[in-house]
Structure 1
């Protein structure tokens, strides 16, 4: 039995620190994710190398995987559906998840002839992350990579917004939604990146219009979503689709809104102070994973937000999208 079953793109992150001028020279959209083919990804790595910009860190990534890493490290039981290649990076990726207690099944996840996806994470001096992603074999994730029986007795199904950009996975998402409802599991969707709302709104709506119980997004994503729908208030725009909406806003308070029998319950939960922001990569993913862990343990919404804020603050204070598993326990035990 798993507390949460998730599905997302499997990517190995390679992080670089660079100047604003060097970032501008890449022509990538600051703070957003851009999809690239293998040639474009190789060209970016070559360009950075020629400028003497070397990797600061390599780690397992992917939005939902980061969330599950946090969830499991805090003490929850998580299963992750994904697609990796039969290569060294694929082995590294699955082993990294196992190290945090996130369950996977190589019989479903490994595409023997595939190439594991990669993400170049460019970190500006202010800690903002800009990404270029080559999905590799993850772009072909489909029902054959999903272990549906893990939903039996699961509390939550967690869907990553980036999957809205992968047409091959849409039938599997529909089936996951159906089986989650049959199993009595709640469903959460993370928007993951402004680019998802900008360029894959139809796919995102396909996830939401079936009905979900929680949406995680940031302030920019929420506003992009609301503007596209012609709505002035992003909270109400999102509450049309979800019982619970969690909107993070960098170092500003997080908005938590929930539909209930007595109307809309709303809270503003403060962020945690950070002496220096090093790297925002994975902050939102970890926030969602920690918040979902709190929900799975029966915590009230404000307590979930406070735990998530503490985890996210620790993530942005270091390089990489994940903490050491023991760090999550330390944060939880020193509330």
Structure 2
């Protein structure tokens, strides 16, 4: 049995430390994610090499995978459906998740002859992350890569917003949604990036379908999606598509809007822990979603969920890389949930 089954793009992250001038010399939009071909990814890496820039860290990545890494490290049982190549990067990627306790299936996830996707993450001195993603074989993820039996054994189904950009997965997403509905499995969706809302809103609406239980997003994504001008308006507007909208706002309070059976909404604000210095925001939102969903799946109050998620995310932004150690996650859970 699993607490949650997640589906997402499998990407190995290559993090680089850049100043703002170096970033402007690329074609990347600061703070956002850009999809690239293998040729474009190779060209960007060659430009970095020419500038003698070396990656500071290589880690398993991908939005939903980061969330599930946090979920499992906190003590939850998670399963991750994805597609990697039969290369060293793919082997590293699945082993990295398995070591943290995230279940996968190499029989379905590994594509013979495929190239594992990669994400170049540029971190500027303000801690902002800017990404260029080559999806590789992950762009061809389809029903054959997914374990529908694992879903039947799960209480939650989790989608990352980037899947809205995947044409090949759309039929499988509908199949997953229907199976979840037939088995009373709750669905959570993370918008993942403003680029998803800007360039794939129609696909995102398909992912949401006739409604989900929970939406995770940040204030920018929420306001873009709902075409509102404040975080509270946006959170309330999101309940047209879900029962629970969780909207983060960088260092400001997270706004949680819950809709009851009579369609009445209740707003809860949870303070975000203050940090001395933001080093790297890569993976912060993913970790927030994974930690919140873990606490929610274990029956904690919305305030407790927000406190755990906020504490995890605040620790993530104070170090390089999108994930903490298992020991760090567990120490935070003990500190927050046993208080």
**Pairwise TM-score range, normalised by the shorter structure:** over 0.9
TM-score normalized with structure 2 length: 0.96
Find the counterpart in structure 1 of residue 154 from structure 2. Answer: 154
Find the counterpart in structure 2 of residue 181 from structure 1. Answer: 181
Find the counterpart in structure 1 of residue 282 from structure 2. Answer: 281
State which drifts further: 81-90 or 44-53.
Answer: 44-53
Deviation (angstroms), 1:210: 2.5
Structure 1 segment 214-229 matched on structure 2, within 5 A: 214-227=214-227
Q: Deviations over 1:70-109 (max 9, x none)?
A: 0000000000000000000000000000111000000000
Structure 1 segment 113-262 matched on structure 2, within 5 A: 113-227=113-227, 233-261=233-261
Find the counterpart in structure 1 of residue 18 from structure 2. Answer: 18
Find the counterpart in structure 1 of residue 60 from structure 2. Answer: 60
Q: What residue ranges of structure 2 are gaps of 5+ in the alignment?
A: none
4+ residue runs of structure 1 moved beyond 3 angstroms? none
Q: Deviations over 1:200-229 (max 9, x none)?
A: 111100011321000000011011101299
Question: Does the 8 Å CA contact 1:226/1:232 hold for their aligned counterparts?
Answer: no
Question: Does the 8 Å CA contact 1:33/1:131 hold for their aligned counterparts?
Answer: yes
Q: What SS does the aligned partner of 2:2 have?
A: coil
Question: Does the 8 Å CA contact 1:154/1:183 hold for their aligned counterparts?
Answer: no
Find out whether 1:268 has 2:293 as its counterpart. no
2:115 and 2:45 map into 1 onto residues whose CA distance is 17
CA RMSD of aligned residues (A): 1.4
Deviation (angstroms), 1:236: 2.7
TM-score normalized with structure 1 length: 0.98
Aligned length: 334
2:88 and 2:96 map into 1 onto residues whose CA distance is 12
